[in-house]
């Protein structure tokens, strides 16, 4: 009833799962991941205990295949289960029980495992793998996972139809505010086109929570400072003194309202913030 991809990025600093299904809120059931440990997808007649138990096994040194073997050996309903896993070293494994509803199966390679059941056919998995292997390893892991998921959807995906999709990514550098390891946790629980909707949410997430690229940061001075002051003024945020300190203060107030505080760097400006300010001003001018 589900298709998913579990994968790690090239340097194993991020792990994640993308999943879609004709099932309400598949994202609440299927994915689990922990930075420095790995990622798991449990599906078909999903055994949700595989998530915590699997992560515990990986944390204690089991590799991907050993985790799958241990969990399924102890499970009397293993023939109705499906699992995909990638461990901290990028070793992967996929398992499909003999009683999973056709078409069901999976494929695993270096740093990824792809699996599905009740699918239109094996082509769903094949095209997901092709999309994953053809994607740029320098892209964010969340984007690569979503591209693979979309490829499976275009190939027919779950043969019963569409309902939910989810994206879960963890990483060494942590998520919002650095308080945990969750980089992306997005779910579309009930929607006629869940994967395009998930893509829309990821674009918003990247704007709000993406970290600025140090190489792209611009000094907040000169003509740029004047433009920012003017743009902030158009939004009702008055910066009376065009000093870096004053602009930092007013920009931080504006960014906090817009939920863009993760992109602030004192004395510098993220081009993403500038583009957003310009779009807001243009939209108001056109209204």
Give pLDDT, residue 1. 65
Give the torsion sign (CA, 265, 269, 272, 277): positive
pLDDT tens track for 205-246: 999 998 899 999 999 999 999 999 999 998 899 877 778 888
CATH code where residue 202 lies? 3.60.20.10
Give the torsion sign (CA, 7, 9, 10, 11): negative
Give pLDDT, residue 199. 98
| Global confidence as pTM | 0.91
- Give the mean pLDDT of the chain: 95
Contact residues for 180 (Cβ-Cβ < 8 A; gap 6+): 174
Q: In angstroms, rounded to a whole number, what is the distance separating the alpha carbons of residues 15 and 140?
A: 11
Q: What is the DSSP string of 211-259?
A: PPPGGG-EES-HHHHHHHHHHHHHTT----S-SHHHHHHHHHHHHHHHT
Both 22 and 121 in one domain: the answer is: yes
103-128 in b/e form (b: 16+ CB < 10 A) is: bbbbbbeebbbbbbbbbbeeebbebb
pLDDT tens track for 8-42: 999 999 999 999 999 999 999 999 999 999 999 99
Q: In angstroms, rounded to a whole number, what is the distance separating the alpha carbons of residues 224 and 227?
A: 5
Q: In angstroms, rounded to a whole number, what is the distance separating the alpha carbons of residues 146 and 220?
A: 35
Both 157 and 222 in one domain: the answer is: no
Instruction: From 209, 243, 266, give the residue that closes a domain.
Output: 209
Both 93 and 131 in one domain: the answer is: yes
Both 202 and 265 in one domain: the answer is: no
Both 157 and 254 in one domain: the answer is: no
Instruction: From 163, 181, 209, give the residue that closes a domain.
Output: 209
H/E segment holding residue 123: helix 122-134
Give pLDDT, residue 141. 98
By three-state DSSP, how is residue 14 classified? strand
Q: In angstroms, rounded to a whole number, what is the distance separating the alpha carbons of residues 254 and 28?
A: 34
pLDDT tens track for 241-273: 778 888 999 999 999 999 999 999 999 999 999
Both 86 and 227 in one domain: the answer is: no
Give pLDDT, residue 284. 78
Q: In angstroms, rounded to a whole number, what is the distance separating the alpha carbons of residues 106 and 215?
A: 40
Both 111 and 169 in one domain: the answer is: yes
pLDDT tens track for 126-163: 999 999 999 999 999 999 999 999 999 999 999 999 99
Judge contact between 126 and 96, C-beta under 8 A. Answer: no
Give pLDDT, residue 243. 86
Q: In angstroms, rounded to a whole number, what is the distance separating the alpha carbons of residues 231 and 119?
A: 51
Judge contact between 33 and 53, C-beta under 8 A. Answer: no
Both 177 and 87 in one domain: the answer is: yes
Both 164 and 56 in one domain: the answer is: yes
Q: Taking 90 as the threshold, does the pLDDT of residue 173 lie above it?
A: no
Instruction: From 168, 194, 209, give the residue that closes a domain.
Output: 209
| Count of domains for the chain | 2
Measuring CA to CA, which residue among 110, 128, 95 is closest to residue 8? 110
Give pLDDT, residue 184. 97
Both 167 and 276 in one domain: the answer is: no
Give pLDDT, residue 24. 97
Judge contact between 14 and 172, C-beta under 8 A. Answer: yes
Give pLDDT, residue 257. 94
Task: Name the residue range of residue 265's domain.
Answer: 214-286
Both 240 and 111 in one domain: the answer is: no
Give pLDDT, residue 119. 96
pLDDT tens track for 79-132: 999 999 999 999 999 999 999 999 999 999 999 999 999 999 999 999 999 999
Q: In angstroms, rounded to a whole number, what is the distance separating the alpha carbons of residues 255 and 147?
A: 30
Both 193 and 228 in one domain: the answer is: no
Measuring CA to CA, which residue among 74, 80, 84 is closest to residue 40? 84
């Amino acid at each position: 009833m589900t298709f998913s991809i579990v994968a790690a990025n090239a340097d194993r600093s991020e792990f994640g799962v993308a999943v879609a299904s004709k099932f309400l809120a598949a994202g609440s059931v299927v994915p689990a991941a922990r930075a420095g440990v790995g990622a798991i997808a449990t599906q078909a007649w999903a055994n949700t205990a595989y998530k915590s138990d699997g992560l515990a096994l990986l944390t204690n040194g089991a590799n991907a295949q050993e985790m799958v073997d241990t969990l399924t050996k102890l499970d009397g309903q293993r023939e109705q289960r499906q699992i995909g896993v990638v461990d901290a070293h990028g070793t992967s494994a996929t398992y499909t029980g003999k009683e999973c509803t056709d078409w069901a199966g999976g494929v695993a390679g270096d740093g990824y495992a792809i699996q599905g059941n009740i699918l239109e056919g094996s082509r769903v998995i094949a095209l997901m793998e092709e999309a994953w292997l053809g994607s740029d390893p320098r892209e964010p892991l969340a984007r690569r996972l979503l591209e693979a998921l979309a490829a499976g959807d275009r190939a027919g995906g779950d043969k019963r139809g569409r309902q939910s999709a989810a994206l879960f990514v963890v990483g060494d550098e942590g998520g919002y505010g650095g308080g945990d390891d969750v980089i992306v946790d997005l779910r579309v629980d009930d929607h006629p086109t869940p994967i395009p909707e998930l893509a829309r949410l990821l674009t918003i997430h990247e704007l709000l929570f993406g970290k600025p690229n140090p190489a792209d940061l611009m000094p907040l001075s000169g003509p740029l400072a004047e433009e920012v002051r003017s743009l902030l003024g158009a939004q009702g945020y008055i910066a009376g003194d065009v000093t870096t300190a004053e602009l930092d203060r007013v920009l931080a107030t504006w960014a906090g309202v817009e939920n863009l505080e993760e992109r602030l760097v004192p004395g510098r400006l993220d081009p993403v913030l500038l583009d957003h300010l310009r779009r807001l001003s243009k939209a108001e001018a056109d209204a």
